[in-house]
Structure 1
Amino acid sequence: MNTTKDVIVLTGAGQLGMAIVRRMAYGNKIFVADWKIENAEAIAETLLEAGFDAVPFKVDISDRESVLELIKEAQREGEISMFVNAAGLSPSQSTKEHILQVDLYGTALLLEEFGKVMKKGGSGVTISSQSGYRMPALTAEEDRLLATTPAEALLNLEMLQPDKIKDTLHAYQISKRCNGKRVMAEAVKWGERGARINCISPGIIVTPLALDEFNGPRGDFYKNMFAKSPAGRPGIADEVANVAELLMSEKGAFITGSDFLIDGGATASYFYGPLQPENNEEDSQ
């Protein structure tokens, strides 16, 4: 008897991605993919212990062959009906070149390739960041290039050359700006398959990495950031999952190509409140 299930693929094995798949993946096969297999194994084990059907998989989202191998393995289990991308590097984790390779090119590659295989009626979300909202506006042509340039040519754009990217924060911000623009353009292509794709841009969310930051040398900076936001606190992964659940379920059937900012109002405070840059150190998240 054929017992194939629909498949949900998670790239980026962390608390955010796990919170989302726990909402959406019951009854489905879950591929938990990460460039560190031990991370994928840890999240898959937690899901298995909670009764889900999950397997770990090693993937490098900045390598097309690696992404295609992930898709190939997932399709052996069934049709891919949901996709969650929560992979990425922060400004403090690597070089500006590596951040562009993973956060910008890698996300574009995932959206491009998964858009070719999604099941009719399927849906996806990619996790971006509030940081994409904090960079000065780009021109309409620059936005168009970020949105529509084929993934393999993206890093050749003049605006993304190393001499144009001043530091890792700039690389991170333009990557996140690009994520939102790619989702808009890819939503048109995904729609041809009857599938939807959206973007979520979280602010400071409590995760093991964030807790390390709160207790580290920049802890006061982060605490000040959320203290001066309207919500007055950081978010939690399940609050991001609340938004993802709407977007990925039939309740969000009319939503595609959109970016949802979920940051407790920190971006509002950054532009129009006590977090305005002239009064504070430049934000890095």
Structure 2
Amino acid sequence: MAASIGSHGVARYGGKDLPKPSAVVMAYTAHSDLSADEPPTFVAVGEEDVIAPPSAMERRIAALRQAGTEVEYRKYKELGHGFGPGTGTSAEEFGNVIARGGAGVVIASQSGHRLPPLSTEQNAALATTPTEDLLTLPMLQPDQVEDPLHAYQVSKRGNSLRVMAEAVRWGKRGARINTISPGIIITPLAKDELEGPRGPGYRRMIELSAAGRAGTPDEVGTVGALLMGPDGAFITGSDFLMDGGVTAAYWYSDLTPK
């Protein structure tokens, strides 16, 4: 999404007709479009990412550099797809070097809010267990994880919990970190999902939500700007659910599982 917005701005995806961003920070992409004025770009990718492999990212980096765009590239060892704040991994350096007054935002998902409440002990285990030991937790054993959707929900709950725990460490450096949990946002990936086999389920979620529509990238960006900027200076260790009311309908209305 970040790369697409860098190329085309937010208006292409239903947002306002705003200027293109002055810089792009992205973790992975298969985006191949190239505009005449790509913004300076910072890239981070996991060496073992099999969903958006470094080779795809490096093709984009080469194209950007050939077009004269300033690019800074970081490839982290022993990391796969979506490493968040990097707690317990080679990307943990973010929290070791973040400057006083700095801020970070990690993207989680509405799916983490579809999981029933966990115990205090389970929350603490997901938040603080070293990454290499996570799969030894009783709650993550095969007989406890019902299906791939349940696994995804647990992972996204863990995402926001680990950022909450990481906020303590960032706070000692005078910095802040939060998560945003978006619902269905109109991006190239969401468009593919809406047109694919899961499209009817996605459209039903949108129709039964309070907002009655999908979100736009600039709406996510507005929340990100609040969390990263001076107006959000008192916000850290928090998770912001922005899904147009889909989760509310899931728990208390027509989307509630029967």
**Residues 274 and 146 from structure 1, CA distance in 2 versus in 1: closer, same or farther, beyond 3 angstroms?**
same
Do residues 195 (structure 1) and 184 (structure 2) align? no
Contact 2:194 2:202 in 1 (8 A): yes
- Partner secondary structure for residue 261 of structure 1: strand
Q: Is the 8 A contact 1:226 1:266 kept in 2?
A: yes
Whole-angstrom distance in 1 between the partners of 2:91 and 2:160? 11
Distance 2:104 2:123 in 1: 22
**From 171, 174, 189, the counterpart of 2:154:** 174
Q: Distance in 1 between matches of 2:56 and 2:75?
A: 9
The answer on 1:53 being equivalent to 2:73 is no
Matched, 1:33 2:45: yes
Judge conservation of contact 1:37–1:57 (CA < 8 Å) in 2: no
Percent of aligned pairs with the same amino acid? 51
Preserved CA contact (<8 Å) 1:228 1:274: yes
Of 140, 143, 154, which aligns to 2:120?
140
Question: In the alignment, which residue of structure 2 is the partner of 1:4?
Answer: none
Is the deviation greater in 144-153 or in 245-254? 144-153
- Gaps spanning 5+ residues in structure 2: where? 1-22, 32-37
Cα distance between partner residues in 2 of 1:198 and 1:43: 28
Contact kept, 8 Å, 1:32 with 1:40, in 2: the verdict is no
Following the alignment from structure 2 to structure 1, what is the Cα–Cα distance between the partners of residues 54 and 67? 20
Tell me which protein shows more helix as a share of its residues.
1
Question: Which residue type is aligned with residue 11 of structure 1?
Answer: A
What residue in structure 2 maps to residue 78 of structure 1?
Answer: none
The answer for the alignment partner of 1:226 in structure 2 is 206
Provide the TM-score with structure 2 as the length reference.
Answer: 0.74
- Residue 175 of structure 1: CA displacement? 0.6
Q: What are the equivalent positions in structure 2 for 1:153-172 lying under 5 Å apart?
A: 153-172=133-152
Q: TM-score, normalised by structure 1?
A: 0.68
Please tell me whether the aligned partners of residues 9 and 33 of structure 1 are also in contact (alpha carbons under 8 angstroms).
Answer: no
CA distance in 2, matches of 1:244, 1:200: 8
Shift of 1:12: 3.0
Whole-angstrom CA distance in 2 between matches of 1:201 and 1:53: 30
Unaligned runs of 5+ in 1: 1-6, 16-21, 67-86, 89-101, 279-285
State the superposition RMSD in angstroms: 3.2
1 CA distance for matches of 2:60 and 2:128? 33
